[in-house]
Amino acid sequence: GESVGLHLPTLSVQEGDNSIINCAYSNSASDYFIWYKQESGKGPQFIIDIRSNMDKRQGQRVTVLLNKTVKHLSLQIAATQPGDSAVYFCAEKEAAGNKLTFGGGTRVLVKP
């Protein structure tokens, strides 16, 4: 079936720099795109979502960009901190659906 395609690379970032995590999706019917953060030994935690009729949404230190033309989603973290070290998952959901389809995750390591 269709799925959010994201391999599990590792992104090493210097503390204080900006991080950009990318995700490709394949389901054109998805209405929401979501980012989750998973710290070691914990369950995923919601960060931010964006509707398919938007191309940008900002939160606290995070920005999500959506490019429907190329089916690409990104999460930008400003001024990356040690507490941002985690695995980040993108996920998608249809408006009337009851399922989050997750990608494979990206590990972010913040170097002091």
Partner 1 sequence: NAGVTQTPKFQVLKTGQSMTLQCAQDMNHEYMSWYRQDPGMGLRLIHYSVGAGITDQGEVPNGYNVSRSTTEDFPLRLLSAAPSQTSVYFCASSYSVRGTMNTEAFFGQGTRLTVV
Determine how many CB atoms are found less than 10 A away from the CB of residue 51.
11
**Contact range with partner 1 by CB under 8 A, out of 14-22, 67-75, 78-86, 98-106:** 98-106
Tokens linked to 61: 């230190």
Is 74 an interacting residue with respect to partner 1 (CB under 8 A)? no
CB of 17 to partner 1, least distance (A): 26
CA 67 to the chain's CA centroid:
13
Is 99 an interacting residue with respect to partner 1 (CB under 8 A)? yes
Is 67 an interacting residue with respect to partner 1 (CB under 8 A)? no
Q: How many residues does the chain have?
A: 112
| Close Cβ partners of 73 (under 8 Å, ≥ 6 residues apart) | 22, 23, 24, 25, 33, 50, 64, 65, 66, 67, 90
**Contact range with partner 1 by CB under 8 A, out of 10-18, 60-68, 74-82, 85-93:** 85-93
Which residue in the set 28, 42, 60, 83 belongs to the binding site for partner 1 (CB under 8 A)?
Answer: 42
Determine contact, residues 75/62, Cβ cutoff 8 Å.
Answer: yes
Q: Which residues bind partner 1 (CB under 8 A)?
A: 1, 4, 6, 8, 32, 34, 41-46, 49, 89, 91, 93, 95-100, 102-105
